[in-house]
Structure 1
């Protein structure tokens, strides 16, 4: 039935290179989220942020192992619940930053937390139904989003002036 639908809509199954690239992106994002959870250790509210990053790390790792897992009820439920929670907190932080931010959002701790939540939400949205529907457009966005946090982290690591105004618990991370 599904093969006939694909033929009718002229959808060709994704090439093996697509799946390998998608799996690699998920393993990289799993590593990124795990690293983000690790650097939260010295944060005053570490417990919340460690859990916030470990859930997408585990979900991404599972997608890297088996992309069709995104159609599993437990995976979908956990990802959607986490995505909604992150969206609500990101909305609150965004409103707070819009009203009260004194500096660039990168200089505000809430701004960095906001960006982390946005990355989580976007990544989980990309993962939805990726076991069934994986195309070049989704894969291109995934590669971009996979590379972006690592480049940003490297930029912060190299640019010591940017980190000078950060609190001690933010400056003493990786």
Structure 2
């Protein structure tokens, strides 16, 4: 739509993008909640449950009120979680590099690294999303990121051979 010589978005498209953004955050809340739940059998369950429960809660808040990302408490909690996740992911990444691991999902460190990387990327994508109107690029990126973990989880769930070398606590959660 052209207005005063400038291209503007169709009024309905912005509403659609907001709905998609909130839906992606609700789906990621569900994913992070499931990721937290499956940690129940893990030897260090408390640590990993917190690592996924915090982003789940932050995503739930965004799905209820997208402007919450501008609240100081939300930003500080997300930043602290991202900082700690980056530090732990760096250590896990170093271990994977030192061991020359190629099948990342076959190693516990690789799965932990991937989960932390996902939480970091998601929280960084959400940062300041309440400040400006949600753009198509952010929503497209969010949609792709949202679909990926569900598809990967389903793929590993269907292909039991891929999980055969996993420790017992990783096989019995779901």
Q: TM-score, normalised by structure 1?
A: 0.91
The correspondence of residues 89-168 of structure 1 with structure 2, limited to 5 A, is 89-102=88-101, 104-133=103-132, 134-168=134-168
Deviation at 1:101, TM superposition (A): 4.6
What is the match of residue 172 of structure 2?
A: 172
> What secondary structure, in the 3-state scheme, does the structure 2 residue paired with 1:41 have?
helix
Deviation at 1:42, TM superposition (A): 0.4
What is the match of residue 4 of structure 1?
A: none
Contact 1:101 1:108 in 2 (8 A): no
Deviation at 1:11, TM superposition (A): 7.2
Cα distance in 1 for residues equivalent to 2:152 and 2:131: 31
The correspondence of residues 39-58 of structure 1 with structure 2, limited to 5 A, is 39-58=38-57
Change (3 A) 1:47 1:101: farther
The correspondence of residues 28-39 of structure 1 with structure 2, limited to 5 A, is 28-39=27-38
* Moved >6 Å (runs of 4+): none
Deviation at 1:100, TM superposition (A): 1.4
Cα distance in 1 for residues equivalent to 2:156 and 2:88: 24
Structure 2: give runs of 5+ residues left out of the alignment.
none
Cα distance in 2 for residues equivalent to 1:90 and 1:166: 20
Across the two proteins, how many residue pairs are aligned to each other? Answer: 167
